[in-house]
Chains A and B, each alone.
Chain A
Amino acid sequence: GAVVSQHPSWVICKSGTSVKIECRSLDFQATTMFWYRQFPKQSLMLMATSNEGSKATYEQGVEKDKFLINHASLTLSTLTVTSAHPEDSSFYICSARPLSSGSYNEQFFGPGTRLTVL
């Protein structure tokens, strides 16, 4: 149980293009989904928190117009990196918090998306 998928697993794009990443909870419903960025040999940095049917909450320093988040259902959230530049190259990981977690902040992670912007 508690499986999270993410697609694509890797993407290479040209500078200035947009890239869409999907995150799905496969066997549970998620009240909240989270988007992280992880640079090599570093920890997970939270970018934004996404709740179904409402606007995402972005962390300080994360541009909401550049990283568009849509949370269409209790099992799907998408992150779109608009006008990507080489400095956006990173490992993007989503996670999902099950409805059943109650007051505990359980999170289960997707496999990540390796984005390379040329």
Chain B
Amino acid sequence: GENVEQHPSTLSVQEGDSAVIKCTYSDSASNYFPWYKQELGKRPQLIIDIRSNVGEKKDQRIAVTLNKTAKHFSLHITETQPEDSAVYFCAAPWRGGSQGNLIFGKGTKLSVKP
């Protein structure tokens, strides 16, 4: 089955700097990799996702890159702002995704200091 490792567990950056969070997965058949942002006490919100037929996707200050050979994908946030502070989770399909399951990384707590 799928296994997802996420690093780092905490990340502190100065406002305006870039932040990068990395995840590795184990199932080469996985085809969909979402990133969720969760603020304290709130729902995880899908911020960006990538399908296995592309290597990079960008949405304003957020980008995700995928390396299928190495089985890892990364979230890149540029020009960070204090409101980017939250916990970020990566995910990948679980058990071949036959029921649409996702397995989540353990999360990265991002702190953006003004």
- Residues on A close to B: CB < 8 A? 31-32, 34, 42-44, 46, 49, 51, 57, 91, 93, 97, 101, 103-112, 114
Contact = CB atoms under 8 A, between A and B. Distances in A.
B100 A107 contact: yes
Contacts of A109: 36, 43-46
B101 interface: yes
B49 interface: yes
B43 A43 contact: no
B69 interface: no
Interface residues of B, number: 25
Contacts of B100: 31-32, 34, 49, 97, 101, 105, 107
- Which 7 interchain pairs have the tightest Cβ spacing? A97-B100, A109-B43, A104-B32, A105-B100, A32-B100, A111-B43, A105-B93
B45 A43 contact: no
B37 to A, nearest CB: 11
Most-contacted residue by chain A among B36, B43, B106 (CB, 10 A): B43
B105 to A, nearest CB: 7
Interface string B87-114: 0010001100101111111110000000
Interface of B: 31-32, 34, 36, 41-46, 49, 51, 89, 93-94, 97, 99-107
A43 B105 contact: yes
Given A49-B100, A108-B46, A110-B43, 6 more contacts: A32-B99, A51-B99, A105-B93, A105-B102, A106-B49, A112-B42
